[in-house]
Amino acid sequence: MIPLLFWGSLKALAWTHAGYPAAMGVLARACPRPIAREEMTPSVALVVCAHDEEAVIARRLENLLELEYPPGLLELVVASDGSGDRTNEIVRGFEGREPRVRLIEWQPSTGRCARARARSSPSRTRTRSGSRTP
C-alpha cells in the first residue's frame, strides 16, 4: 500500500511540475489564439491631500500640470482638509483657468485618512493615484 501511495504521489508531482506545463505548451502551439494588442493610455485622477499648504500648493499644481501625460486623460483633485490659509483660494484660481483641476473641501478638519476618501468621490477616471504636498 505504501509503495502505491509513494509512486502515485510522485506521478502527481511530476504531472504538476512538468507534465501539465509541457501539455499546455504543446496545446498553445497547436491552437494559437492571437492577442489583440492596441495602444492604450488610461485616464488618471491624481489626488493631492492638502492642509494649510498656501506656501507650496501653487508650485505643486504647476508641477503636476507639466506632467507629460495627455491633458484630456489627467485630472488633478485637491482634497483640502479645513485649510485656514489661502490654500482653497489658490486652488480655485487654478480651477477657474484649468479644467483638469478640481477642489474638494472638508470643513472642519477631518484628518488625512478622511481626505483620502476623495479617491472614491465621483471622478471621470478609473485610475487614481495619491500625492502628498512637500
pLDDT in tens, 31-52: 988 888 888 888 888 888 888 8
C-alpha to C-alpha distance for 93 and 57, rounded to whole angstroms: 11
- Cα 10 from chain centre: 44
- Report the pLDDT value the prediction gives residue 59, as an integer from 0 to 100: 94
- pLDDT value at residue 127: 47
- List, in order of start, the domains of the chain with CATH numbers: 1-37 (no CATH), 44-132 (3.90.550.10)
Q: Looking at residue 7, what DSSP letter applies? A: H
Q: Is the pTM of this model over 0.95?
A: no
Q: Strand, coil or helix: what is 82? A: coil
For residue 111, name the pLDDT band (cuts at 50, 70, 90).
Answer: low
Q: Which residues contact 85 (CB under 8 A, 6 or more apart)?
A: 52, 53, 54
C-alpha cell at 96: 477657474
Q: How far apart are CA 86 and CA 92, in angstroms?
A: 10
45 contact partners, CB below 8 Å, separation of at least 6: 75, 76, 77, 119, 123, 124, 125, 127, 128, 129
Return the CA Rg of the chain.
Answer: 26
Beta strands in the chain (DSSP E): 44-50, 74-81, 101-106, 127-132
**H-type helices in the chain, by residue range?**
2-14, 20-30, 57-65, 87-97, 112-115
